[in-house]
Amino acid sequence: MIYRINEIFQTIQGEGVFTGSPSIFVRLQGCPVGCPWCDTQHTWDIDPAQQVSVERMLSKSTASAEWAELSAQAIVDCFQQQGYSAKHVVITGGEPAMVDWRPLAELLEARGYQLQIETSGTFALQVSAQTWVTLSPKLDMPGGYLVRADCMARANEIKHPVAMQKHIDALDALLAQYPPAANVVISLQPISQRPRATELAMQVCIERNWRLSVQLHKYLHIE
């Protein structure tokens, strides 16, 4: 299995259940979902002209559409070569569920890593049984993809971006259509830290005993 990787870096997880955890992020290149508020739109297209060496990809200091091809073993080797100490690995995008992460999961889990995947829920998941699945359902997006019932059933965490009441209503409809597992964690994440969105998310989280995800990394001004 060969993965198209936009970047690999070590930082603090700023969202969801694992907020505050030292983490290694592996960002995939390629996503057709088309979320208007996406802050990584440079990862959407897979342009052959933007393929670069692994060394150049790792040395990027600013966001770009450049990407490199790595095997599962090469990704693990990269962690060691970079001297990363974190044992929590976050697969993000782009849309990670477009490819099979089981080969990487097998290598990582054998070495004591915990794997988390962040997905829109619009593609069939190809992950290990131990992988923590964070599903951020993308509803009525320009790409036209639908959230899948099997993704909802597999999710460990549902992290929903909100700005207005209609986003809460859309999540309610999705939860009614595809009820998640009883122990799933549901969190609301204000889009772009807008005050009205944050106030709405806080109110609903308190009413329903859900969690608030505030994108801590943006407040800390880290990647």
Q: What is the pLDDT of residues 15-35, one digit of tens each?
A: 999 999 999 999 999 999 998
**Whole-Å CA distances, 194 to 164, 203, 204, 214, 215:** 10, 14, 16, 10, 12
Q: What is the pLDDT of residues 179-197, one digit of tens each?
A: 999 899 999 999 877 889 9
Binding residues for Mg(2+): 40
Q: Please, what is the end-to-end C-alpha distance for the chain in angstroms?
A: 27
Binding residues: 12-14, 27, 31, 35, 37-40, 92, 94, 136-138
Separation CA 192–CA 89 (nearest Å): 24
Binding residues for substrate: 12-14, 27, 92
Q: Which residues of the chain have pLDDT under 70?
A: 217-223
The pair of structure tokens assigned to 38 is: 């996406």
Binding residues for S-adenosyl-L-methionine: 37-39, 94, 136-138
State the SS3 of the chain.
CEEEEEEEEEEECCCCCCCCCEEEEEEECCCCCCCCCCCCHHHCCCCHHHECCHHHHHCCCCCCCCEEEEEHHHHHHHHHHHCCCCCEEEEECCCHHHCCCHHHHHHHHHCCCEEEEEECCCCCCCCCCCCEEEECCCCCCCCCCCCCHHHHHHCCEEEEEECCHHHHHHHHHHHHHCCCCCCCEEEEEEHHHCHHHHHHHHHHHHHHCCEECCCHHHHHCCC
Whose tokens are 């880290």? That residue is 222
Q: Sign (positive/negative) of CA torsion 181, 14, 68, 94?
A: positive
Q: What integer pLDDT is reported at residue 1 of this predicted model?
A: 87
Q: What integer pLDDT is reported at residue 143 of this predicted model?
A: 86
Q: What integer pLDDT is reported at residue 220 of this predicted model?
A: 66
For each of the domains in the chain, give its residue range(s) and CATH number, in order of start: 2-220 (3.20.20.70)
Binding residues for [4Fe-4S] cluster: 31, 35, 38
